A and B are shown apart, each in its own frame.
Chain A
Amino acid sequence: MDFNLTSLSFLNESKFNSIDTSKVYDIVIIGGGPAGLTAAVYAMRKGASVALIAKHAGGQVAETSGIENYMGYRYINGLELVDKFKDQVLHFTIDYDEGGEVEAIEDEGIKKVLLKDGRIIKSKSLIIASGKRWRKLGVKGEDEFIGKGVAYCSICDAPFFAGKKVVVVGGGNSGVEAAIDLAKVAKEVIVIQNLDKLTADKILIDKLNSFTNVNFLYKTVVREIIGDSFVKTILIENTELLQKSEIDVDGIFIEIGLVPNSDFVRGVVELNSNGEIIVDCSCSTSARGIFAAGDVTSVPFKQIIIAAGEGAKAALSAWEYLLNEE
């Protein structure tokens, strides 16, 4: 029996306060991944009044099993690293909210952050570090059958497909990792990839090829997910032959990469065609006093160490902005 303990989060005598909606903060940070948490440490050390809102502490790192490229650790479990990040933030007295979700932002000089639960937080400057989330296929039936055969998290949901026939959409690292998790329990796994080959790392592809219950459909896309109370059939199309066909399946795992969480800033700051917030090398966005960092931005390469570095930079830029404003 394994125990995936997030020990440090318990050890902190809570030094953080709830967010104060009557006050105007110096800096409000949206996001609790590596970018947001690093920004918080830098901003607190400057002595700014700071609030941090995170829907899920740790962001993508909390969903990563092992990390081998964050300096200082040859290997560290994702949750363990999140713990260490959080510990370093909660060492300061910060106004902190976990679980709250930002719905919109208004920029009237003073920035207003509107939360889904109705709270409105005011600030002189903002750091947006809201990262990325799993991309959806965007086909008919996908939303309707979430949790009813449509799944995204293989380490969570693979056990429910023991002895069943499942499809994995996506041939990159996350798709192949999901296919490996599923091949261990399912009767049959079909990997559907839009390109003519897998794009995952070789080490993962070799591992997947060691299973005998996995089949591949290349140059193929999913057009529709069909079922009644559960997924029953998927409609696929071969993009070369333009041939449509149906396959009967018990489940479909969608592993086709990530999209930026930038919907709530659309119209307030400029985005690129991928929906990423456009930033310059000081993490400034197109709006004065609004900074952005990490995976949600146009900065190339999405990695923990890069997001953390960008978070630091955004906090220092925000601090400089506040000094110049006064």
Chain B
Amino acid sequence: MALFEEKIQQQLKEILKSMKEEVTIVNFTQEIECPMCRETRLFVEEIGSLSEKLKVKVYNFVTDKEIAMRYKIDKIPAIALLDKDEKDYGIRFYGLPGGYEINSFLGAILELSGKREPIPDELMKRIKSIDRDIHIQVFVSLGCPHCPAAVSTAHRLAMENEHITADMIDANNFVPLSQKYNVTGVPKIVFNDKFELIGAHPLNTFLDVIDRLKDYGINID
């Protein structure tokens, strides 16, 4: 059974044509007792079949434990995106990026393939100067129109600075985790477990929060 309707498939193919270099989609799954794992695997396989520039690798979270650890995957379904040299920038999607999140997923693929919009110099300087580990978790719901912007901003930061890693998390797929972070409004953006933003924010607000993290001595994560 195809996940994508014919019309969407055609649109996806068109979009993926503008990929510059190859991108690898790494999916971690487990076929039993994991909500949305099967669907997420089908999703990456179908998307992978729509472009020659996409490679798909599917691992079992339990039996491929070492690989999961290498990519620091701690929950499933999970997707990591890697560039043409299979370099890992810390770009993760936890849960199936459906609904509006298809846009942040495609955006990350295109950007990782080398098709990036320029960031103004002043902001780029601030991004490059970050020299401590920053982990950004963006909680979303798939029916939220302004969530993909928050996810894309976090992922772009991860692409531009190796100290930064960024996760999209479907809050309705990871309920206990969302409860732990008291998510009742999305997007909720958590920085190193220390600071949070609620709602869509421009890049410079992300950077302001990261600046404030400097006042804390230890890195979490």
Residues of A within 8 A of B (CB): 1-7, 9-11, 13-14, 18-19, 55-56, 62-63, 78-79, 97, 99-101, 116-119, 146-151, 153, 155-157, 159-161, 229-230, 251
B49 adjacent to chain A (CB < 8 Å)? no
- B18–A13 CB distance below 8 A: yes
A160 touches B8 (CB 8 A): no
Q: Please, which residue of chain A has its CB at the minimum distance from the CB of B5?
A: A3
Q: Mark B199-217, 1 if CB is under 8 A from A, else 0.
A: 1101110000000000000
Query: Which A-chain residue is minimally distant from B203 (CB atoms)?
Result: A99
A117/B204 in contact, CB under 8 A: yes
Interface residues of B toward A: which range? 35 or more
Can you name 8 A-B residue pairings with CB atoms under 8 Å? A1-B99, A5-B12, A19-B120, A62-B146, A101-B202, A156-B186, A159-B143, A251-B184
- In contact, B99 and A146 (Cβ under 8 angstroms): no
A4/B203 in contact, CB under 8 A: no
Given contacts A99-B203, A161-B184, 10 further A-B contacts (CB under 8 A): A3-B102, A7-B12, A99-B153, A118-B122, A149-B184, A157-B184, A159-B141, A160-B178, A229-B182, A251-B184
Chain B residue nearest to A229 (CB atoms) is: B182
Residue of B nearest to A62 (CB): B145
Q: For residue B153, which residue of chain A has the nearest CB?
A: A99
Q: Which residues of the partner chain B approach A153 to less than 8 Å between Cβ atoms? A: 144, 146, 185
Q: Are A79 and B145 in contact (CB under 8 A)?
A: yes
- Please tell me if the beta carbons of B183 and A3 are within 8 angstroms of each other in the complex: no
The answer to whether A3 touches B4, judged by C-beta atoms less than 8 angstroms apart, is: yes
> Are A117 and B198 also in contact (CB < 8 A) when A4-B99, A10-B106, A11-B18 are?
no
A4, B103: Cβ atoms under 8 Å?
yes
- Whether the pair A148, B146 counts as a contact (CB closer than 8 A) is no
Is B176 positioned at the interface, with any CB of A under 8 Å from its CB?
Answer: no
Contact of A4 among B15, B100, B110, B117 (CB under 8 A): B100
Closest to B42 in A: A1
B14 at interface, CB cutoff 8 A: yes
Cα separation A9 to B152 with both chains bound (whole Å): 14
Query: Which residue of A has the minimal Cβ distance to B185?
Result: A147
Question: Is B11 in contact with chain A by the CB < 8 A criterion?
Answer: yes
Residue B44 lies at the interface, judged by CB distance under 8 Å to chain A:
no
Given known A-B contacts A4-B100, A5-B102, A119-B120, A55 and B15 have beta carbons under 8 A apart: no
B147 proximal to A (CB < 8 A) = yes
Contacts of A161 in B (CB 8 A): 184
In B1-24, which residues have CB < 8 Å from any A CB? 3-4, 8, 11-12, 14-15, 18
The verdict on B123 contacting chain A, using a C-beta distance below 8 Å, is yes
Cross-chain contact A157 with B141 (CB below 8 angstroms): yes
Give the Cβ gap from B46 to chain A, nearest Cβ, in Å. 11
Q: Among the listed A78, A97, A119, which residue makes an inter-chain contact with B122, where contact means beta carbons less than 8 Å apart?
A: A119
Q: Does B98 contact A (CB under 8 A)?
A: yes
Q: Are B143's CB and A156's CB within 8 A?
A: yes
* B169 close to chain A: CB less than 8 A: no
Residues from chain B with a CB closer than 8 A to the CB of A7 are: 11-12, 14-15
B107 contacts the other chain (CB 8 A)? yes
A residues in contact with B172, CB < 8 Å: 159-160
How far does the alpha carbon of A116 sit from the alpha carbon of B203 in the complex, in Å?
11
